[in-house]
Chain A
């Protein structure tokens, strides 16, 4: 039980997917302009991550022991079909959210955070419970980073940023400072 808590905290804060592993940067920089969109995209990603973790576990346990070289291709296919499925559900249930997410919903397919999750969980040899907790932590961590970034960017809109720095450059520097702040969480582990 204790180990599961540590896996969760590690994925959520210490090894945050965006700020420590640089995964999922495209939506991180693309969608973090507005707070509510960022939050919803984070939740959609979390949902895809949970399903992916489950499917990756199924594949790893029952299929890929016979053909390990198919790992990458089968993961990608699973992720792509999950995203397609979620896209159909959201379109039916909440057209407003569907329009708000726009192009970034299909782009979850090429979101490296999700593929990264499946690959890291496999490399670490996680079982089903560990994998699901890992996905939960990583997804919440992604949402947290996205929401924090969106909040900071809404503030930065009003700040007198030099003209040349506007756009991606200032966002990257903000992300760098945020990432530095998150490094402080590494102390949690040495304390334990």
Chain B
């Protein structure tokens, strides 16, 4: 958290990459691994979480003056559960096919530590405008992570992306990737990839700093 007046754009962009809820903080994995066996399911879950996170962050930030500190966690959970119920029933009415696919994992958004974490760490302490930006950024980062994970698993496990066949009939699908173990393996390898990227960037920054010292 910067010490100076936090900038709204900064709050938005930090969720996309530097503090990405999945790749950097490893939060909210429970609903994530279970439903990302295809890119479409990942996107549906990401959008549902997006709505819940943004709506509850906004409401918590607006109501924070009236929520007593002792019961704040319970209040947050009830607010989140309300929005999840709304999402659950709307999905059931609008897109029954996807609702059936995601099944019991929609109600489980309530137990997503990412959402409660943002309420406790950010929305209950900051003005509504910043809380909204923070929630939008975190939710977009989460959506991005879910689609990425779902795409990798679908490409490897079925040779398709968003249901479109990619490699033709000769491709032998790697079935384990869309089964549960594939979720663990893919996320583990993606985390490896991201820590490799982070290290490379850090080395680059160090080298640049050295060059500047030498030049001056």
Contact = CB atoms under 8 A, between A and B. Distances in A.
Contacts of A19: 180
Contacts of A109: 73, 77
Interface in B159-193: 176, 179-185, 187-189, 191-192
Contacts of B185: 172-173, 176
Contacts of B191: 168-169, 172
Contacts of A112: 30-31, 108, 111-112
B111 A164 contact: no
Interface string A144-187: 00000000000000000000110011111101110110010000
B113 A22 contact: no
B204 interface: no
B174 to A, nearest CB: 13
A172 B188 contact: yes
Nearest to B31: A112
Interface residues of B, number: 43
B41 to A, nearest CB: 13
Nearest to A162: B192
Interface stretch (B42-50, B84-92, B121-129, B135-143): B84-92
B176 A76 contact: no
For the residues of B in contact with A, the DSSP-based class is: helix
A89 interface: no
A115 B77 CA distance: 13
A169 B85 contact: no
Interface string A10-29: 00000000011111111001
A168 B187 CA distance: 10
A25 B77 contact: no
B33 A25 contact: yes
A97 interface: no
Contacts of B85: 69, 71-73
A173 B77 CA distance: 32
A175 B189 CA distance: 12
Contact of A25 (B30, B82, B110): B30
Interface in A92-126: 107, 109-112, 114-116, 119-120, 123
Contacts of B34: 21-23
Contact of B30 (A22, A173, A180): A22
B77 A116 contact: no
Contacts of B205: none
Contact of B188 (A21, A22, A120, A173): A173
Interface in B1-49: 26-27, 29-34
Given A22-B30, A26-B29, A119-B104, A172 B195 contact: no
Nearest to B199: A164
Interface string B91-119: 00000000000011001101111001000
A137 to B, nearest CB: 17
B110 A76 contact: yes
Interface of A: 19-26, 29, 69, 71-73, 76-77, 80, 107, 109-112, 114-116, 119-120, 123, 164-165, 168-173, 175-177, 179-180, 183
Given A110-B77, A179-B184, 4 more contacts: A23-B34, A24-B30, A180-B181, A183-B179
21 contacts: A20-B180, A22-B32, A23-B34, A25-B29, A69-B89, A72-B88, A76-B78, A80-B73, A112-B108, A115-B107, A115-B111, A116-B104, A119-B107, A164-B192, A168-B191, A169-B188, A169-B192, A173-B185, A173-B189, A176-B184, A180-B181
